[in-house]
Structure 1
Amino acid sequence: MLYLTLAILTSTAILVLFKIFPKYDIHILQAIVVNYITATALGFAIQWDSFSVNTVVHENWFLYAIVIGCVFIMTFQVFAYSSQTVGVAITAISSKISVVIPVFVGALLYANESLSLLKILGLGFAIVSFLLVFNNNANFKINPRFIFLPIILFLVNGMNDTIMTYAQRKFNGFNTMLFISCVFFSSLVVGVIWLIVNYFALKQKLLFRNIIAGILLGIFNFLSTYYFFKGVAVVESAVFFPILNVGIVSLSALCGYFVFKEKLNLINWIGILVALGTIVFIANV
């Protein structure tokens, strides 16, 4: 459970950084691109002695890394746009309940995984905790024109987790560090193209504060992805994904309360308690 715990901590740190960014007027796309430069550089620097372009492109996992990298940055952008158009709560809920996709796919594909009634119950508790934690006593009003955004986020996020898990299981014993370095490089290429388009279309210059923000984001993004792959290799999907998502949601809510002085109503606190209970329940199923 060590890698799972570290994945929760580093993933929460990423959310905290995104919370801080508006205070310093950080341009999100610029920070995301620098984040991928940092993460790619870290990965290849660690693997420099064994790195060879010719070897990497002929690895049987190379195309998986390219696909995952493209989906990575697309998920970031869909999440940001959905938050702005349909609201943070609906966006966060659709992102987190996507946990059902890798869990059910894992039960279908992997012989060593099973989806018992207790695990399904634990997954249900996890989804309930998401709904309670993100409840803000407001009526959710979604513009029908943008209803597709949370749906796309649900599918893309779930697909991304599923592909990453599949790659880890299919190529068990592969060079994890080199794999995630290629994932980040793929995201970087897409991000740079996006950034260039923004520069010529909107005349947005790369600012120093965005570089610093991107470096910090890249360090935690690299670590969270590395711990994800190490954790999902030893913990079955029906346990790993619910605990990961519930852990991130509850820890993020607590950070918001204690660090950013965000208000939590009674329903939110009940949601956090349900989340903590869910972690204990699933871990012992």
Structure 2
Amino acid sequence: MIFLLLSILASTLIFIIFKSFTKYNVNTFHAIIINYAIACFTGVLNYDAPISIANIINAKWFLGALFLGFLFISIFNVMALTAQRNGLSVASVASKMSVIIPIMFGLYAYNESANALKVIGIILALVAVYLTSIKNKSIGFTTKGLWLPLTLFLGSGILDTTLKYIETTHVAKNGIPIFSATIFFIAGCIGVITLGAKSIKTKINFNYKSVVGGFVLGIVNYYSIYLLLKALQVDSFESSTIFTINNVAVVMLTTLLGLLLYREKLYIKNWIGIGFAIVSIILISIS
């Protein structure tokens, strides 16, 4: 249970850190690049076996790690923009409601049942993403500003599905630290290449705020994934229980902190959306 509680705290802190970047004028992309270097180094420190580059490249999970590295840095940028432009509650709900995507994958790949509760839960999740994304009093339907939370929703779902599939089929029980470190290393390399391309046209300056922000984010980011994977390995808890408690707790805690720390304004429809999010996760898990 301690792994799950710490994972919830780490996942919530990621949203808070992204929101704080705006307040303290931290360059988000620079901090994200530094974050992956720190996260990779943290994973290496946590690995208690000899590290072989050849073994990593030849590992069954390496190609999957390449794909995940690209997804990590892409979705992390989208998550940061969503938290900064749409609010903490929107970012947390959009990313955590993406749990329906690996569930839908399970229906197709593993022939899992699709009963009424599960279908209702999926529909409510989609409605929840829209309702929590509306940050004005208008009642009419609008797509303005929805592309960020929707992209975060889809990207996070694909990331979780791929991560879980590779971890369960190709990663040894003691291989989580080096697997995670490799993903973070690849994401960092992509970030450096992107930054290098930008530097051709624009001068790049790293400031101390980006370094500090990236350092803190890197440690929290690594442990948010490491602790969740450790919680999933506990035999006394089913994965559906772990994901449900984790997602609901992060949504609620992030929303509460958004209200307390940043005075975020939530309208009735936002609260309804958050309520739908919680109900949909519960319905999906008990189905």
Shorter-chain TM-score bucket reads 0.7 to 0.9
Give 1:273 shift: 4.8
Give 1:190 shift: 0.3
Letter in 2 for 1:252: T
Give 1:126 shift: 4.3
Maintained 8 Å contact 2:94/2:153: yes
The residue aligned with 2:255 is 253
The residue aligned with 2:135 is 136
CA displacement, residues 145-184 of structure 1 (integer Å, 9 cap, x when unaligned): x987666544433221111011122126341111101110
Give 1:270 shift: 4.3
**Higher mean C-alpha displacement, 198-207 vs 19-28:** 198-207
- The counterpart of 2:270, out of the listed 268, 271, 280, is 268
Q: Among all aligned residue pairs of Structure 1 and Structure 2, give the percentage whose two residues are the same amino acid.
A: 35
Q: 1:103 to 1:241 in 2, by over 3 A?
A: farther
Maintained 8 Å contact 1:133/1:250: no
Maintained 8 Å contact 2:90/2:133: no
Structure 2's unaligned 5+ residue stretches are: none
The residue aligned with 1:70 is 70
Give 1:252 shift: 1.3
CA displacement, residues 80-118 of structure 1 (integer Å, 9 cap, x when unaligned): 56788xx6279846655533221111233347x544433
The residue aligned with 2:10 is 10
State the distance in 2 between where 1:15 and 1:65 align. Answer: 24
Maintained 8 Å contact 1:3/1:228: yes
Q: 1:280 to 1:239 in 2, by over 3 A?
A: same
Maintained 8 Å contact 2:90/2:129: no
Give 1:69 shift: 0.8
TM-score normalised by L of structure 1: 0.81
Superposition RMSD in Å: 3.4
Structure 1's unaligned 5+ residue stretches are: none
Give 1:19 shift: 0.7
The residue aligned with 2:86 is 88
Q: 1:198 to 1:138 in 2, by over 3 A?
A: farther
Q: Say which SS state the counterpart of residue 201 (structure 2) adopts.
A: helix
CA displacement, residues 179-199 of structure 1 (integer Å, 9 cap, x when unaligned): 101110110110111122233
User: How many correspondences in the alignment?
Assistant: 280
The residue aligned with 1:35 is 35
What does 1:118-133 align with in structure 2 at a 5 Å threshold? 118-133=117-132
Letter in 1 for 2:255: A
Q: 1:223 to 1:129 in 2, by over 3 A?
A: same
State the distance in 2 between where 1:206 and 1:5 align. Answer: 34
Q: Say which SS state the counterpart of residue 178 (structure 1) adopts.
A: helix
Maintained 8 Å contact 1:133/1:253: no
Maintained 8 Å contact 1:66/1:186: yes
